[in-house]
Amino acid sequence: MDTDVAVGRHPAAVSRPGQRKRSLTMTDLTAQRGLYAGPAPIVSKDLYAEVHRGSAIRDRASLRLDPGTLVSGNTYFGRFPASYWQRWTTVTEVSVELVVTGTGLLSMGASDVEGEPRVVAAEQVADAKQAKVALTAKLDKFYDGGALWLDLETEGGQTLRVEQVRWTVEAPEKIRPTAVTICTMNRADDCLKNLQALAADVSSLETLDAIYVADQGTDLVESRDGFEQVAKDLADKLHYIKQPNLGGAGGFTRGLFEVAGHTATEHANVLFMDDDVLLEPDLVIRMTAFSNRAANPIIVGGQMLNLFHPNQLHVGAEYARLNTLEPGQPVEHSLSTADLLGVDEETLKPNRQERRLDAGYNGWWSCLIPYEVVQATGYPLPFFFQWDDAEYSYRARAHGFPTVTLPGAGVWHADFHMKDWDEWHRYFNLRNSIITAALHSPFNLNLLSRVLLAQLVRYLLGMQYGLSATLIKAVEDFLKGPEVLRDGGVEAMQEIRRIRDAYPETKRYKATDVPGIASNDIGIINSAPPPSRTLVVLLKRILHQTTGRHRFGLGAVPADEAHWWHTSLFSTVVVTDASQEGVRVRSYDRAKTLDLAKRGIRMVQRLRREGAAVQERYQRAMPELTSRENWKRLYGL
């Protein structure tokens, strides 16, 4: 197995972070840059700065205002998250520095928890020529919420150009650099684009120490034409590693494993990043600076914006209801699937996250972990993927390391609601959620059993037999105990795919090419509203299905209307896949329904009897499962 190989070099010649200086020294620390356009044309410039009046030319690193123009940085990427800096760091003031040419008014705006604006500093410049200007504000009025931003204004006859805009804070004695680790598997083009984005900005990313790419696929990143050039551009920062597919957990942990294996790692941060995101490279600066000035070590999470709807914020901060297996719950007062260029329907105020939020965990689309957390908490569990991020955050919290989701540190990731739930990865979602609940929740087995039975009933009524089998397999494998994690999930991945392959409704087809059904015979039949008497309707649907009474023989149902109370009315229903790329055909099968129901009931009974003992086994196995030695074994090193 090739490890740590850079293009054109023998492994022994590759520079390792432990061999380089692990800390930087400077008088001030860039907390974020002032940018005025995104990393790709699909990203609206209004996410960086809004032209409220007049005309302006917004480039990536500079802004030119025509006469009579007002431009505001009170935007998602333009705002400095003052509340978070006041709460979590030792910084007491922040400056925005810029190089100015021309005439105009520079002002630093601020908001409070209600979003009410005020001006905290301002300076009029006249006939400036590449003049350096700085505005400073104290971080003392933002504890519950609020942000800072830069506004620029010209009057008639005035023009103004600003560039080299950066928000700075006092630097610590030593600055801890960050190593980015990217897990990739057969997304070579996506991964290469993100490496190219980092390489194009590398001169500005002073705190970026190394980039680890854990390539677990067969379509390798190194096979692409642009890889050799990006390797040259990144030089000894890039560490390209090929390894067997151990899922997201195995890919991300590899970077953590490599960094923690070197000397002087007390000065290291590791930033996990997905391979298929649209990257805003400035998040490296923002998250690294925040971590460097944190009063105590914390996990710093980046936010996710929806790639297919680039103006949408996925969620401001989230938590998981562990005992009921519900991840992705928006924290109270959090923006959720919010249009960042729109307004709140109730308050009519712009969608800005003014109130400071406390996160339960952060997804690993972008998440920075300081080395102290690894020392105290151990490595991630070999979950393959799904719930590895939540489990790690809750485990770290138990050791005194909270997770902070930092506004303005964002990447674009494929919208979650456009990923179908009925896929093989649902097995890992279920199995790993139960393990996480066993480790970090009261693990009320009566409550958990009711949750699982309710899910199973809904799946069976909706004629999702493969999904029902997936649920049963997930619980059965949980009951096997920690031994199920010994190979990192490789065997489980292969087995669940084999199991699901036996169920026809797990397969996706083009709507015009559904086997055995003429395209013209499929008409949409819309759903009624949710039932007001859920239990009564549930029992009625069960009775009608088991006695072979169906209201509709054949019909089509849109993805957002494929509720159990609607799909259970059909003998055969063609359901749009959540990806919007095809359809799935569900047909009622009485034998499968009864078989899966019996198996599911037996499974829940076993969980109630054996769950507490299995929980203790996972708790005892945690030190070994999360050890460096275990991951070394999994990597075959």
Active site residues: 389
Q: Give me the phi and psi of 258, to 5 degrees please.
A: -65, -45
Structure-block tokens of residue 35: 């940018």
Residues 6+ apart with CB under 8 A from 565: 461, 527, 528, 530, 531, 537, 538, 541
Cβ pair 568, 463 in contact under 8 A: yes
In a 13 Å sphere around the CA of 225, the CA atoms on its Cβ side amount to 0
Dihedral angle computed from the Cα positions of residues 197, 199, 205 and 209, in that order, rounded to the nearest 10 degrees: 120
Report which residue type is found at 215. D
**Cα 144 from Cα 333, distance rounded (Å):** 12
Name the residue among 524, 563, 570 with its Cα closest to residue 544. 570
- What whole-number distance in Å separates Cα of residue 470 and Cα of residue 244? 24
What is the distance of C-alpha 341 from the center of its chain?
A: 21
In 537-619, the DSSP E strands lie at 552-557, 570-576, 583-587
Closest C-alpha among 302, 305, 334, 304 to residue 318: 334
Q: Are 310 and 414 in contact (CB under 8 A)?
A: no
How far is residue 424's CA from residue 466's CA, in Å, rounded to a whole number? Answer: 9
Q: 134: left (phi > 0), else alpha (psi -120 to 50), else beta?
A: beta
Q: Tell me the helices (H) and strands (E) count for the chain, helix number first.
A: 15, 23
- Backbone CA torsion sign across 600, 602, 605, 607: negative
Asked if 320 and 326 touch (Cβ cutoff 8 Å), the reply is yes
d(CA 24, CA 177): 7
Give CA–CA dist 406/301, Å, rounded: 6
Whole-angstrom distance, CA of residue 34 vs CA of residue 151 = 11
* Residue bearing tokens 């009485």: 590
Residues forming beta bridges with residue 412, ordered by sequence position? 278, 305
Return the ∠ at Cα 360 (arms to 358 and 365), rounded to 5°.
Answer: 105
Separation of alpha carbons 489 and 478, rounded Å: 12
